[in-house]
Structure 1
Amino acid sequence: MKSICKHLALIWIALVSSCCLAQSASVSGKVTENGTPLPLANVLLKGTEYGAATDIDGNFTLDAVAPGDYVLLVTSLGYQPYQTKIKLGADTTKTINIQLEASAQSLDETVVTGTLKPVNRLESPVPVEVYSPTFLKKNPTASVFDALQNVNGVRPQINCNVCNTGDIHINGLEGPYTLVLIDGMPIVSGLGTVYGLTGIPNSLIEQIEIVKGPASSLYGSEAVGGLINIITKNALSAPEFFADGFITGWGEYNLDVGSKIAVGKKTDLLLGINYFNFDVPIDNNGDNFTDLTLQDRISLFQKWDFERKDARLFSLAGRFFYEDRWGGEMQWTPEFRGGDEIYGESIYTRRWEILGKYQLPFSEKLLLSFSYNDHNQNSVYGDTEYLADQRIGFAQLTWDKSSGNHDLLLGSAIRYNYYNDNTPATPTADNIWIPSLFVQDEFTFAPKHSFLAGMRFDHDQRHGNIFTPRAAYKWKISDHDIFRVNAGTGFRVVNLFTEDHAALTGAREVIIAEELKPERSYNINLNYLKKIYSDNGTFIGLDASAFYTHFNNVILPNYETNPNHIIYDNLEGKSVSKGLSTNLDVVFPSSFKIMVGATWQDVSTTENGISQQQILTESITSTWNLSYTFHSLKLTADYTGNLYGPMRLPLLGDLDPRRANSPTWSIQNIQFTFKGLNNFEVYAGIKNLLDWTPNRGNPFIIARANDPFDKDVTFDANGNPVATADNPYALTFDPTYVYGPNQGIRGFFGIRYTVF
């Protein structure tokens, strides 16, 4: 009897189990990012114990799930959380494929710019801001230069209403104080600042790292106000093929095309081409000058990555850049180039670059880095010709060594600068070698505390020995809270004519008051970084900083003493940049994302006891990015914008009727991206929704646009213009009164195609 009961019980259990299994459901699928599988992503049904991690191919399966309504949540470090509602019936298998989007400003990325070695961003003693290609796609632009308008505390400054060349301001400091690097190599400076941020296909960029504050102890001259490091993709992780093209309502065309090619078994080649064209003269403000410079440019980029024994690094990259740009009177044609009949500014630029990294075949971490660039510029500004050549060579050897609680970096670098132009200020070519030695030690003296000390020694034959120390303290309060203090010095060796477009317009004479000394800066920066992960999948990131920089021997152009002169001199006083900055990054499980940044800054110069705001420096700046994905429609909406507070503007005299200070102004954009087609993204939107241009509230922007060669201006015995019936404000031609883009509202449409 017991035996019969036992068998009946086993049969009953088997039947019940079979019935339960028949009533269960399962969920499977694949998690990717732009088609690339994401391993180790967390997949779970909220409020339950059902969960799994994706495998190396991005696949996951949740078995034996009870029927019902659930919320599927997918999370992965560095990516925006994904969540969707699913309904599971009895005895069903549901397949769902999920595409995650990289976080625009992740707090868990690897950075190299702050310390010259790869380190997790949270572990870096130097605050580094990181921006991914996803960030660049929120407001598609034809260059990195334009894309940086949505980075808090960073402003692309247009320096001329006619040719539209510009530079990058960090925390209110002039463009020459910003060092631009590509893959960590300082190949861009002086003449090439704007060109270093133009022509690199955005699809080839792995990430952009920004350090605010002096970094001369690692990078030498120019790294005074901060630096921007554009890191390109490794060929091994790049897509097989990509194409990205867009057109705007103003008639701008931009095309990025690239491909990865396997060359043998151990070599991969990454090719990229960027082409941009705008050839429609537009004069919406009615001054007979082009509102936007006409441009025709092409950039060719290639990067070779070689597989070596023990995963040692060896990469070699090169870029060729050519651009023909002009702006001026609407009736200008190339036959007027260099003449005094019709005013035009025409710039032919040819530039090529090569850079590489090679890890030496030793057990120690010895890395040789090198770069070289050749920049040729053939320009005319009215009837003033400017012909210049610049060549910069750079080589650096670093030794990365860890010993106990010490993480050491020792290095030696040599930089070669060649510069020559046809101006009277350069009677002979500059031909300078600058050798350097530097050392850095990060010492962990307690489980949550570390201290970094570094110093650099440069020898410049023009200025002698230059010593730049730095120090940084990091307190890791918790895994989600970091407090940092950074202090350092910077220096800059100046070559005026490579940096200040106003000196080349032909409208003013350049006066150099004395032999210029190197500028020096002293900086302290406090930074607090916090990230919060809530139980419902919401992520909050906070990054707040306070900064103070003091300059000695600062060189500022004096536009105000004489309207016909630009006077350069070392300031007999001080220049100070101080302020507060914060970034807030919030990601909700619903795929709604908020990025907001704001900076208050006070940049002033003090001479003879009188302090005043630096020209063309805003008091406040704010940036934002609101993004939401409609998963059922496979559509993402991005609303981006920036706001800049008042800045002092360069007037030509007491009678000048233009605003002495700019208003608070804003550029706002909206974009919609559809991802419902395999390998394709279609995007469209509107730029400058408010149709804002700087001529609002001003009688004119370009002074004496009707007489660009000053043929009808009367001057007194001292060379100062005199008010006349034809010239009631006593002005001369001057296009340097510029603080924002002249380009108004416009639509855009684009398509991306990517094959992995």
Structure 2
Amino acid sequence: MKLPILLIFSLLTLHARAQSSLSGVINLNGETEPAYGAAVYIIELKTGTTTDTLGRFAITNIPSGKYTVRVSYVSTASITERNVLINGNTTRNFTLQSDANALNEVVVTGTMKEVSKLDSPVPVDIITSKFIYKNPVASIFEGLSYVNGIRPQLNCNVCSTGDIHINGLEGPYTMVLIDGMPMVSGLSTVYGLSGIPNSLIDRVEIVKGPASTLYGSEAVGGLINIITKNPSRAPLFAADVFSTSWLDYNVDLSVKFSAGEKATSFLGVNYFNYQNPIDNNRDGFTDLTLQNRFSVFNKWSFTRKNNKQANIAARYYYEDRWGGQMNWNKSYRGGDQVYGESIYTSRFELLGSYELPVAEKLTLQYSVSSHNQNSVYGTVPFLADQKIAFAQLLWDKEIGKHSLLFGSPFRFTFYNDNTPATRQENGRDTPDKTYLPGIFVQDEITMGTHKLLLGARYDYNSRHGHIFTPRLAYKAKLNQTDVVRLNIGRGFRIVNLFTEDHAALTGSRQVIVREALKPEQSWNVNLNFVKKIVTGNSFVGFDASVFYTHFTNRILPDYDTNPNQIIYDNLNGYAVSKGVSLNLDFNFPFPLKIIAGGTYMENFQKENGIRFRPVLTEKITGIWSFSYDFHNAGVSVDYTGNLYGPMRLPVLSTDDPRSAVSPVWSLQNIQLTKKFRNGMEVYGGIKNLLNFVPPANSIARSNDPFDKNVKFDQQGEVIATPDNPYRLTFDPSYVYAPNQGIRGFLGFRYTIR
């Protein structure tokens, strides 16, 4: 009798253990919406589930006991809790923090107002410092190469100047902001971006498509807003130091301190040094530009009544950079014995914002920058001075369903150099002074799950007169998982040739300006669709866009008509940039996260009935990031990569032996990071795993950089000779990829909160 009773008791006990469950809600820190599709995983049992549209989850049939529970969500930091007691119907709620590329982070760039990324009617891409850490770089310029649709373009094989392409549009169409201020533009778009220390970056917000309604000229192709850290939330101390096997060194240091109870300051310092000339492709020229760069950034924030904002920041940047023949030194600067391109850059910036002490939300934003350039390209000097003063008053007003924003910007630009850009016909030097006052209004109307944004801006340019840019954006939240956005806008850009095109300064080509250049104008349409997909215990974030931009008065350099000239004039026709892009975020119950994206583009110009493709404009881009965490060991692995091409290249003639089209090429990297409990991280890995480098003959006639042995006929055409059978002249503008091959890197980070 005892045996059946014991058997029945045992069965009841096992049944009771099997009926335990774990349930709860997953929230996102600072967000009203729950984490739909978050994964909850019990490691010991290798079982899990995903949350529903309300963020709820439930796992049943769990034997009672203590377990390790991991909660993860796309683009957030995972939570792992050990010794979670599950006995009976156990309820446990979790809150996740934002991480790299978070779907629900607050953004400001699209509308100049703080708004959830999902609630913004304007699609905004976000990069945080944690995303940059997946592949450590010496500047944000390099870090942007792992963002879908973004390509940092090197414009010179010798001095490594560059700009940033968005959706295939050249660098001058991209506006770069620091804390919403137009600090990096014109001259400094080419030279200043690489000097922004990573230590000061909180996040980078990217808007693809015209934003001229809010930000004015240059925001035609899109804008990149580098948002610096808030001193009150910055770590007490942070250090990030790394080096590569090429013997380049990068140091990022930051410290936070207070001055009384109402003022907090953040100081960031960056130092980059590379003094190890390498010529692996044996063309006689440095593969990587030698650099000595220093940048210091200081930001203050102040505590005021009623949470009124006030902050001010300053940055100083200095760079000494050169590239050229391997035996070049500064004694050859400007001479014709040994070729070198040497650039001294000195830059100062002051920016800030102050919310006025009145009942209405009125904010004054201001910035001042001074950029001095002393460059020599072979025997051609380029001396330039640019100063920009900017101020605008913003009035943020809520009236019922209307969120209104009024702005009155004013921008003054002083520019002077030693080129024909600022030289009159009589030879007198005349600095260019441009005044650009304006006014804009934006109305964001909320209608339940729909939002409509209407905007318009009027500017008066002292050189080009009246400019009007309207804008429309519409967002529909179809359900808990699907969002559609439509953006239509007009863009305009005032062109400064010599501040934007390095090829005009190399001395290898004559610059021809055929007419008085008119401002470029464009219309852009962008349709964006975002969807969250839950499949079993995994989650996929889907973000797709279709874009179309139509240009009139477009100005692009003509390299083809005469190989010894660069010819500029307004396009007698039109230009189009169109394509599709797709971003995917994968989240699994185990600690693997995947971010992948691709963009296909068709860019062309049509003039006099002839359609052709601009040079250095890629057809496809792709990016990916695979991250896996070994929680118990405190080790993470990151595999990142990008893919570009093909693009038309600026060959010198039909006889040029170099390919007229680039291959599809890829840069891939792998990194291991070990985290310690004291705030220390040690990381290392390999960059450019495939060891991809462009052809060794990328620099035409690198053996004769001053064209001393080139023969010309009476029309200025190159004559074929035994020494020059392909009729080439020296030209370093044939460049589409970095010359740095495979290399190892090692570094460490230390943070005190």
- Asked if TM exceeds 0.5, the reply is yes
Q: Residue 739 of structure 2: which of 739, 742, 746 is its match?
A: 742
The residue that corresponds to 2:437 in the other structure is 435
Question: What is the RMSD computed on CA atoms of the aligned residues?
Answer: 2.6
AA partner of residue 188 (structure 1)? V
The residue that corresponds to 1:669 in the other structure is 669
* Superposed counterparts of 1:180-259, under 5 Å: 180-259=176-255
CA offset at residue 752 of structure 1? 0.1
AA partner of residue 502 (structure 1)? A
Secondary structure, aligned partner of 1:310: helix
AA partner of residue 685 (structure 2)? G
Q: Distance in 2 between matches of 1:614 and 1:43?
A: 46
The residue that corresponds to 2:139 in the other structure is 143
Contact 1:77–1:108 (CA under 8 A) maintained in structure 2 = no
Secondary structure, aligned partner of 1:425: helix
Q: Distance in 1 between matches of 2:669 and 2:74?
A: 29
Secondary structure, aligned partner of 1:391: strand
Q: Distance in 2 between matches of 1:176 and 1:153?
A: 16
The residue that corresponds to 1:715 in the other structure is 712
Deviation per CA, 1:628-671: give whole Å up to 9, x if none.
Answer: 00112110000000011210000101110000100111000000
* Superposed counterparts of 1:576-587, under 5 Å: 576-587=576-587
Are residues 1:171 and 2:167 paired? yes
The residue that corresponds to 1:639 in the other structure is 639
Deviation per CA, 1:167-219: give whole Å up to 9, x if none.
Answer: 00000000000000000111110111144432333232111100000000000
**Structure 1: unaligned runs, 5 residues or longer:** 1-19, 34-39, 51-64, 91-97
Deviation per CA, 1:421-460: give whole Å up to 9, x if none.
Answer: 011231111111100000011122x312221110000001
CA offset at residue 141 of structure 1? 0.0
AA partner of residue 234 (structure 1)? N
CA offset at residue 102 of structure 1? 4.4
Q: Distance in 1 between matches of 2:95 and 2:672?
A: 17
Change (3 A) 1:108 1:88: closer
AA partner of residue 319 (structure 1)? R
* Superposed counterparts of 1:324-343, under 5 Å: 324-343=320-339
Contact 2:200–2:297 (CA under 8 A) maintained in structure 1 = no
CA offset at residue 75 of structure 1? 5.2
The residue that corresponds to 1:484 in the other structure is 485
Contact 2:39–2:73 (CA under 8 A) maintained in structure 1 = no
Secondary structure, aligned partner of 1:725: coil
Secondary structure, aligned partner of 2:214: helix
* Superposed counterparts of 1:154-553, under 5 Å: 154-427=150-423, 428-444=430-446, 446-532=447-533, 536=537, 538-553=538-553
CA offset at residue 413 of structure 1? 0.4
Secondary structure, aligned partner of 1:149: helix
Contact 2:421–2:497 (CA under 8 A) maintained in structure 1 = no
Q: Distance in 2 between matches of 1:504 and 1:45?
A: 59
Deviation per CA, 1:275-315: give whole Å up to 9, x if none.
Answer: 00000010000010000000000000000000000010000
The residue that corresponds to 1:10 in the other structure is none
Q: Distance in 1 between matches of 2:86 and 2:349?
A: 60
Moved over 6 A (4+): 40-45, 87-90, 98-101
Q: Distance in 2 between matches of 1:610 and 1:43?
A: 54
Change (3 A) 1:509 1:533: same
Q: Distance in 2 between matches of 1:339 and 1:473?
A: 58
Q: Distance in 1 between matches of 2:540 and 2:165?
A: 28
Secondary structure, aligned partner of 2:276: coil
AA partner of residue 70 (structure 1)? Y
The residue that corresponds to 1:58 in the other structure is none
Secondary structure, aligned partner of 1:685: strand
Change (3 A) 1:550 1:632: same
CA offset at residue 624 of structure 1? 0.3
Q: Distance in 1 between matches of 2:39 and 2:155?
A: 50
Identity %: 59
Contact 1:80–1:587 (CA under 8 A) maintained in structure 2 = no
CA offset at residue 587 of structure 1? 1.7
Contact 1:81–1:588 (CA under 8 A) maintained in structure 2 = no
The residue that corresponds to 1:6 in the other structure is none
Contact 1:336–1:342 (CA under 8 A) maintained in structure 2 = yes
Secondary structure, aligned partner of 2:213: helix
Deviation per CA, 1:466-512: give whole Å up to 9, x if none.
Answer: 00000011111123321010000000001111100000001111110
Are residues 1:689 and 2:689 paired? yes
Q: Distance in 1 between matches of 2:73 and 2:642?
A: 29
CA offset at residue 72 of structure 1? 1.0
Contact 1:82–1:590 (CA under 8 A) maintained in structure 2 = no
Change (3 A) 1:231 1:297: same
Contact 2:98–2:105 (CA under 8 A) maintained in structure 1 = no
Q: Distance in 1 between matches of 2:112 and 2:80?
A: 38
| TM-score using structure 1 length | 0.89
AA partner of residue 159 (structure 1)? N
Q: Distance in 2 between matches of 1:577 and 1:193?
A: 21
CA offset at residue 540 of structure 1? 2.0
The residue that corresponds to 1:702 in the other structure is 699
AA partner of residue 512 (structure 1)? V
Contact 1:108–1:122 (CA under 8 A) maintained in structure 2 = yes
The residue that corresponds to 2:678 in the other structure is 678
Deviation per CA, 1:21-68: give whole Å up to 9, x if none.
Answer: xxx9x9xxxx999xxxxxx999988599x9xxxxxxxxxxxxxx9852
Contact 1:83–1:589 (CA under 8 A) maintained in structure 2 = no
Q: Distance in 2 between matches of 1:519 and 1:720?
A: 32
The residue that corresponds to 1:619 in the other structure is 619
Q: Distance in 2 between matches of 1:574 and 1:383?
A: 37
Contact 2:521–2:552 (CA under 8 A) maintained in structure 1 = yes
Contact 2:342–2:376 (CA under 8 A) maintained in structure 1 = yes
CA offset at residue 84 of structure 1? 6.6
AA partner of residue 733 (structure 2)? T
AA partner of residue 264 (structure 1)? G
Change (3 A) 1:476 1:100: closer
Change (3 A) 1:632 1:660: same
Change (3 A) 1:680 1:118: same
CA offset at residue 151 of structure 1? 0.4
Secondary structure, aligned partner of 1:652: coil
**Structure 2: unaligned runs, 5 residues or longer:** 1-15, 49-61, 88-93, 424-429
Of 207-216 and 609-618, more deviation after overlay is shown by 609-618
AA partner of residue 564 (structure 1)? N
Between the two proteins, the alignment pairs up a number of residues equal to: 698
CA offset at residue 703 of structure 1? 0.5
Q: Distance in 1 between matches of 2:561 and 2:679?
A: 59
Secondary structure, aligned partner of 2:403: strand
Secondary structure, aligned partner of 1:366: strand
Secondary structure, aligned partner of 1:683: strand
Q: Distance in 2 between matches of 1:493 and 1:45?
A: 55
Secondary structure, aligned partner of 1:135: helix
The residue that corresponds to 2:8 in the other structure is none
Contact 2:644–2:664 (CA under 8 A) maintained in structure 1 = yes
The residue that corresponds to 1:630 in the other structure is 630
CA offset at residue 720 of structure 1? 1.2
AA partner of residue 175 (structure 1)? G
Secondary structure, aligned partner of 1:198: helix
